[in-house]
Amino acid sequence: MTAAVASCADSVASPTPDIRPETPQDAGAIEALLDHAFGPGRFAKASERVREVAPLRLDLSFCIWEGERLVGVVRQSEIAVGGRRLIFLGPLAVDAAARRLGAGARLVEVACAAAEAAGYGEVLLVGDPPFFGRLGFSAEATGQIVMPGPVDPRRLLLKRLGQSGGTNILQGAVTAP
């Protein structure tokens, strides 16, 4: 377990939280949580079009377990925009009770730390600006990114990781790497 995972696991306010990388054995529980959180409408979103072509990075995707019960998941896939490789974060789903304890923010923090440790300079997502803005995401540099379907431009958010801190605006279509 990485230091980022261990430190975040210790800080989630829950009886016995366990944050760990996703494994293939988690798939059934993850699909059930995603179905409960988003319903069948999740398959119609532009983000799903990205996930259909971009490879899932299990090593950069994380689950929160309370005992045998999955209470949260964040998945990350590798994408390219204008020839630059970066990470696409999502979906993020958290059980309602765990949401109040900050589990969603913890999962995003752990996922971004793992992406940075793996050498990525940016993480892109489609999400709620007030929630993700608190975690360092912004729509400021996403105006030239073309998603494979309609997306409210205010919800297309980017976080620069570590020392990448560049001001370059990403340009181009979101594609597989």
pLDDT digits (tens, 9 = 90+) for 71-122: 999 999 999 999 999 999 999 999 988 887 889 999 999 999 999 999 999 9
Q: What is the pTM of this model?
A: 0.87
How far, in Å, CA of 44 to CA of 161, rounded? 29
How does residue 9 score in pLDDT terms, banded at 50, 70 and 90? very low
Would you state the pLDDT for residue 2? 46
Query: What domains are there in the chain, each with its CATH number?
Result: 3-175 (3.40.630.30)
Nearest-10 Cα torsion for 30, 36, 45, 118: -30
How does residue 13 score in pLDDT terms, banded at 50, 70 and 90? very low
Q: Position of tokens 């983000």?
A: 47
Position 66 pLDDT exceeds 80: yes
- What is the 3-state composition of the chain as percent helix, strand, coil, each rounded to the nearest 5? 40, 30, 30
